[in-house]
Amino acid sequence: MYFTITVILAGLILALLLVLTVKSSKKYNLPPGPVALPLVGNLPQLDRNAPFKSFLKFGETYGPVMTFYLGRQRTVVLVGYDAVKEALVDQADDFMGRGPLPFLIKATKGYGLGVSNGERWRQLVRFTLSTLRNFGMGRKGMEEWIQEESKHLRGRIDSFKAAQFDPTVLVMCTVSNVICCMVFGQRFSYEDKQFLYLLNIVFDFLTFASSPLGQMYNMFPSLMDLLPGYHQTVFDRAEGVREFIEMKILEHKETLDPSSPRDFIDSFLIRTDQEKHNPTTEFHHDNLVSTVMNLFLAGTETTSATIRYAISVFIKYPNIQEKIQQEIDSVIGRDRCPNMEDRKSLPFTDAVIHEVQRFLDIVPFSLPHYALTDISFRGYTIPKDTVIIPLLHSVLKDEKQWATPWTFNPQHFLDHSGNFKKNPAFLPFAAGKRACVGETLARMELFIFMVSLLQHFTFSCAEGPDSINLDPEYSSFTSVPRMYQVIATPR
């Protein structure tokens, strides 16, 4: 009897939740989408390991603007170049909100550039962009830092003497050192144990964030905080990054010269002192720690993963590798360091780098946006507090924009005369007001590091080109290149 009553009550509650969901849909003119179940929403209908593939499939039925429920979170998904561009570029102000990512909010304590909106975001993004430019992003100074780091990378690869090695940690160190120069004012040795430990934390944190467990945390953070498990370990270790940043800030305070800022931290401390009597300032300690944390996380893994993927491409297609080397030899030679001015004279190389980014499709979802107010879009209403996913995967693989979207093809970025050509659907860094703040830096790193590597080495693997699988290992949030032991033979 008791069991029967419990089942009936549970059924009534589920029915009530379903009715409330339907009423909510009728209250607003929501975009279409599949029927959601109470509590779990549409989660059972999505591919657990690659949910973006499910969204792409649903787009064939419901169109380019769809409504889903991820748990109880209402989510609008935008599919295809036209819809994504219309939202992020044509209606940039409407779609500039950043979705609340509970795992990132917990790690940053809700401060910093990555998870902020409104006046906090405006103050921090303006300061961050101008400060990074002051320290060379997109200019000669940053180019020289990247060139210098490329020499350290080549020296380390030389030390393997054409023996097999895993490039994962080495490339992470190289890329991270560039952002460390800008933020901390120093680079770290590839043998520095503390540096390697921090990079290991970064790798683990981003792997967790992209995993089904990480997505479960995003949907049910209050519940997950009460439960034991690996997620608790990840957040405990993330505190190690915060402690390192706190230590560096203290060191900077002790040696600060307000008339001569050395890096991002110095600049932020100077601005903090200038605004210490402003009650609405966002230049305070918590925002400094978390913004540095944002830069350190974002400036490491995505670019290093793209370089690792490029190495796999070079091994998979030795003819492409050889053609790039011939172009480099004819334009730069093997003695001079490459610079960004060379890119105009290396159209095939530039095309391959762009195609590596397009084909890897490293963040299929982009970072979620958020409706800060009700948004009118394509005849629909996207209510306030709706998460918005611009599906970058659908843009980088849009069959209307790319001749062979599912094939690695550098011709996507070359005209009939072999000159480099742009494609408006090339949006690996997203678009609009919340596009990646480090896009210019990442482009410089990808070009200089890749050209420098092929200038001095030919890449292969013991098992041969056919052993390389360019299909990424998909997680819930990112596309991760497969790991291989590689051989770098000096040229």
Instruction: Give the position of tokens 């991760």.
Output: 480
Q: Are 476 and 48 contacting, i.e. CB atoms less than 8 angstroms apart?
A: yes
Per-residue pLDDT, 12: 43
Per-residue model confidence as pLDDT tens for the chain (491 residues) = 444 444 444 444 444 444 444 444 457 799 999 999 998 999 999 988 788 889 999 999 999 999 999 988 999 999 999 999 999 999 999 999 998 888 889 999 999 998 899 999 999 999 999 988 887 665 567 888 899 999 999 999 999 999 999 999 999 999 999 999 989 989 999 999 999 999 998 888 888 887 888 888 888 888 899 999 999 999 999 898 999 999 999 999 999 999 999 999 999 999 999 999 999 999 999 999 999 999 988 878 889 999 999 999 999 999 999 999 999 999 999 999 999 999 999 999 999 999 999 999 999 988 899 999 999 999 999 999 999 999 999 999 999 999 999 999 999 999 999 999 999 999 999 999 999 888 999 999 999 999 999 999 999 999 999 999 999 887 667 788 999 999 999 99
**What H or E segment, with its residue span, contains residue 233?**
helix 230-255
H or E element in which residue 66 lies: strand 65-70
Which ranges constitute the DSSP H helices of 117-190? 118-134, 140-158, 168-183
- Kindly report the pTM of this predicted structure: 0.91
CB 21 within 8 A of CB 36: yes
Strands 65-70 and 73-78: antiparallel
Cα separation of 431 and 246, whole Å? Answer: 32
Q: Are strands 387-390 and 73-78 parallel, antiparallel or unpaired?
A: parallel
Q: Where are the alpha helices (DSSP H) in 89-117?
A: 102-108
Task: Check residue 472 and give its pLDDT.
Answer: 85
Cα separation, 20 vs 135, in Å, equals 53
Instruction: Output the pLDDT for position 208.
Output: 85
Which string of DSSP letters, residue by residue, matches 403-470? SSTTS--GGGGB-TTS-B---TT--TT--GGGS-TTHHHHHHHHHHHHHHHHHHEEEE-TT-GGG---
Domain ranges of the chain: 110-361+397-490
Q: Which two tokens stand for residue 432?
A: 């609009």
Answer CATH for 110-361+397-490 from 1.10.10.410, 3.20.20.70, 3.40.50.150, 1.10.630.10: 1.10.630.10
State the residue for tokens 């992020």. 88
- Pseudo-torsion of CA 365, 368, 371, 377, nearest 10°? -20
- The residue assigned the tokens 């609008």 is 76
Distance CA 209, CA 189 (A): 28
**Whole-number pLDDT of residue 16:** 44
